[in-house]
Amino acid sequence: MRNGTSFGSYTVYPIANAGRFYQVVSFPSANENQQAEVIVIGVDDQPAEITFKSRVNFSVAANSSKQSFHTVTHLNADNKTMVFTISGLLAKSEMIVFRSNDDLKSSTVTADINGGRIAVISNSYCPNQPCDLLMEQIPPIQTFGSTYFLVPAKNYGGVNTFRIVPLFDNTTVNTNSLQAMDGEPNSETYVMSRGDFYDLDLDRTIVETTSLKATKPVIVMHYLIKNTEPPIVSSVTIIPSVEQYTYGNSTFSTYNVTTSRNPASIIRNYVNIITECDQKNKVLFDNKIIEVWKVCPPLTGGSLYCATQKQMATDGRHTLRSENADAKFAAIQYGIRTDNSAFANSLFMNFEEITCDVEEGGNPIPCSKPTPTTQVLPTTMTLPTTLEATDNMTTLNPYAPPTNATHSKTTSRREKAGTGELNFLLKHFPKSTTML
């Protein structure tokens, strides 16, 4: 997708995976002309009764519904924070857009369980000038996982930032990063509550891979940020959790607009792939075994995972496939331009429901039966051209779990925003305006 002189992409989820409860994940922009935007779309024949709540003031930028939406402003339970709430009906294919000059992070979108489901997209909007597309469809909160492997975009000249957002209070997040220079791991611990977020900046020249393990479900977004003043976010994509790794086949296309008159338009195309190390030879790229892998920092009591950053030397159509059901993997495509503009999108992920209920004390109750696997295919286009590229990534050997001391960082931003769908809505988030 192109917008003036910029470009971008996002992953479109199947309607079968739409839900009724969402937590918005967004990123504040340094561009004063760029606004945060949340798009809500009805997907079922039965109208969806939706409610949007935010800690910051917002406007309704577009409304294709024939219904009027009602806005309520109230004090939160702490009697200090204002909460802005709007509700109304959305029929199938109808859309409403909420927009704000402030960061809409931790806002919530719910659809009543007696009505239809919805799809939610987080976006940025530039009314007066072209800007990089920061659009991503948000999965329902029941699909949030607790285990992740974070791999920076290869050869990106800016900053790789991974935003970690918890779903529950008292969530402990442990990260373990592998240092590229000496192979030494570096561990950190973050204690987080619902509404908090932590931005983990990974320098691709120092950190090769990072493992993340949380005590409760979290969502992780990957931002590529240009080294400009002020910094500009160039792309955003959701990182699949290990719980959502899947198997099967995926066909995707690279995208390029290379011209001799505009060298800055040259796009280098990559794909990051993560799978269990003992299954790595069962994941095929263009029907060939991938030779070069790196070992991810190990998880306590878990399997050893490997990652590869594959640079695609030719543009056009490519395939990824696993040879058996045990070779589950995640794949994320990146396109990086010479000026560090970029796009990113997931190629392969599952939508298994992980959390089905919440205990009275606020702890998640896991689902007992997984939902069927669903593949997500990219929506990028192809303009044939040739781009010379090499893959000079080194292979690392497995190493023992880290023994260095762990230090803690506690986030300070806290916003109560609600938890869940189905029983979540009935038991924990009634239509009362006393909670966000």
Residue 73: Cβ within 10 Å count: 11
Q: How confident is the model at residue 430 (pLDDT cuts 50, 70, 90)?
A: very low
Q: What's the confidence (pLDDT) of residue 435?
A: 33
Q: What percent of the chain has pLDDT over 90?
A: 25
Domain ranges of the chain: 1-138, 145-414
Query: Could you tell me which residues come within 8 angstroms of residue 97 by beta carbon, excluding any fewer than 6 positions away?
Result: 37, 38, 39, 40, 60, 61, 62, 63
Q: Which of 39-48, 62-71, 123-132 has the lowest mean pLDDT?
A: 123-132
Q: What's the confidence (pLDDT) of residue 425?
A: 39
Tens of pLDDT, residue by residue over 38-57, are 999 999 999 999 998 887 77
Q: What is the maximum alpha-carbon separation in the chain?
A: 63
Give yes or no for a contact between 199 and 161, defined as CB atoms under 8 angstroms apart: yes
Which of 80, 88, 234 shows the shortest CA–CA distance to 158? 234
Q: Considering the entire predicted model, what is its pTM?
A: 0.79
Check pLDDT > 50 for residue 436: no
Going from the C-alpha of 341 to that of each of 107, 264, 271, 306, 410, the distances in angstroms are 28, 9, 16, 28, 32
Helix or strand (DSSP H, E) at 423 = helix 423-423
Average pLDDT, the chain: 75
Check pLDDT > 50 for residue 28: yes
The CA distance from 134 to 389, in Å, is: 27
The CA distance from 424 to 429, in Å, is: 6
